[in-house]
Each structure stands twice: as C-alpha cells, then as structure tokens.
Amino acid sequence: MSRIFVVYGHHNLNKSFNQEIRDTFCSEAKKLGHEIDLINLHEEKTIPFYDGSEPSEQILDYRKRIEKADIFVLMSPCHNYIHTSATENFLAHTVAPPWAFSYRKLILNYGWPQPNKMKGKKVIISTTYGGPSFLYSFVFQQIPRRIKKFLFNYLCGADVSYMRYYEVLPNMPKEVFEKHMATVRKTVSKL
C-alpha cells in the first residue's frame, strides 16, 4: 500500500472539524493498509518565518519524508483566504525551489517551470471554509484552492485533488457532518 505524509495545520488539535477530518482520514487509511506519517504543525518545533536562507535540518527532514511518501496530504482551515500561517510558512520552506521545482530559461529572464522532487506525486489538499455566503463560497473561497493547484500541479508537476468543506460553522447539523465524513472515507477508498 501507499505511504502517506499528512501535514495538519489547525491550531486546535483536539476539538475541531479539521481534527475530525484528520482522524477519519488517518483511521480509514490505516484500515486499508496505508502507512501514515503525520505532523501536527502546532506540535512541531516552530518554523521561523521564511527569509530565503538555506533550509534547516528540520526542513530537510520534512523534505525527506515527503520524498519517501507516495501521497502528500495538506490539511488546513482557510483564514482570510489563505491557509493558516503555520501551513503557509511550512509550504514556503518545504515546497520551494530548487528542491520542488526550478525554471528553465527560455529568453531573457523568462522561463518555464521544471518539476523536481514532487513530480508525479499525488497531492490531496483538504481545506475548510467558514461563512455562509453564496458569493464567498463560489468566488472568493476558490482563490486558495487555485493558488495551491498552481503551486503543486503547474510548478511541481504533482497530481492534485481536493477535499473542500464550505460553511463549516459551529453547530453543524449531524447529517451534514456525516456527509462530510463520508467524503473523507470515499477519498481514502480511492487511494
């Protein structure tokens, strides 16, 4: 079966909808014989803000774990139209050139992306959104997904799929919650 590297970027590790997604995903994957390598960004040593310096041993370790994995799963809520700051900072450090991709110069200072270590890797992005507004759900909340698809698919050459959950608000009806968990189980069954 597959080795799955899961990056969980929610600050609440015990009582959140994201935690339910994480636990259901990991539990279902283990039942099917997949190996899970999970990091909870808020339990890890804090990664300094990205400043362009050489990758630390911590970042090099994350990259090795990503390389060993068949599937890379990113789980994070969306705050202000981006993933959490811990998640974005993790990506800025780990999924960076030249490790993840580089550019082949075509003319002057213009080039074409050249995938590197993530080429052909399966990437699943799990994102939760709040806000029960049609405009937000169908226009603005698509921005983070499209940015991540550009990063992983276009620049890194990975195969990207999504688990998206809209209007994740307190007091979610049980039938809606169960529908979302069924989506998680279905995603895992297709790995």
Query: What's the DSSP call for residue 56?
Result: P
Amino acid at 17: F
**Cα 171 to Cα 32: distance, rounded to the nearest angstrom:** 31
The domain locations on the chain are: 3-189
Q: Token match 């890890």: residue?
A: 44
pTM of the predicted model over 0.85? yes
pLDDT value for 153: 79
pLDDT value for 75: 93
pLDDT value for 37: 97
pLDDT value for 36: 97
**Cα 63 to Cα 66: distance, rounded to the nearest angstrom:** 5
Instruction: Give long-range contacts, CB 8 A cutoff, 24+ apart: 150-155.
Output: 151/91, 151/95, 152/95, 152/118, 152/123, 152/125, 153/123, 154/113, 155/100, 155/101, 155/113, 155/115
Question: In 3-state terms, what secondary structure has residue 65?
Answer: helix
pLDDT value for 138: 61
Bridge partners, residue 118, by sequence? none
Q: In a structure prediction context, what are the per-residue pLDDT tens digits for the chain, which is 191 residues long?
A: 899 999 999 988 778 888 999 999 999 999 999 999 999 999 999 999 988 889 999 999 999 999 999 999 999 988 777 788 899 999 999 999 899 988 888 888 887 888 889 999 999 999 887 766 656 556 666 667 778 887 887 788 888 888 877 766 677 888 888 999 999 999 999 99
**Cα 181 to Cα 25: distance, rounded to the nearest angstrom:** 9
**Cα 135 to Cα 123: distance, rounded to the nearest angstrom:** 27
Do 9 and 19 touch, CB atoms closer than 8 A? no
pLDDT value for 141: 63
Q: At what angle do helices 85-94 and 57-68 cross, to 10 degrees?
A: 80
Do 124 and 73 touch, CB atoms closer than 8 A? yes
pLDDT value for 173: 84
Architecture of the domain whose range is 3-189:
3-Layer(aba) Sandwich (3.40)
